[in-house]
Amino acid sequence: MTPPPTRRAPYAVGDLVTGTSYVRPEDRAREQPEEITGRVVQVGSGWAGIDAAQAYVWVRLASGHERQALIRDIRKVTP
């Protein structure tokens, strides 16, 4: 019997992406979402249909800071 296909994240570590960072609503008094461009450094949870609406990645900016971003709010930058 063949195992079911694995659903993969649309982004991989090292992908260059751009979009808007994610800030949890309870943290927005001290931090606001911002436009970001950087490399994916970690793929978070939410794949394979579990919490898919909140699937996220961590993106490292040129400054060295990292920001969380929902996959629905970013896109790959084409070289």
Stretch 34-63: mean pLDDT, rounded? 83
74: pLDDT strictly greater than 90: yes
Which is more confidently placed, 22 or 7? 22
User: Can you tell me the mean pLDDT for 57-77?
Assistant: 95
Query: Cα separations (Å) of 74 from 4, 5, 29, 53?
Result: 28, 25, 23, 13
Q: Which residues contact 6 (CB under 8 A, 6 or more apart)?
A: 48
How do residues 16-47 score in pLDDT, each as one tens digit? 999 999 999 999 999 999 999 999 999 886 55
In total, the chain counts a number of residues equal to 79
Residue 1 pLDDT more than 80? no
Residue 32 pLDDT:
95
Plot region of 32 (φ>0 → left; ψ -120 to 50 → alpha; else → beta):
beta
The reply to whether the predicted model has a pTM over 0.85 is no
Q: Which two tokens stand for residue 10?
A: 């649309």
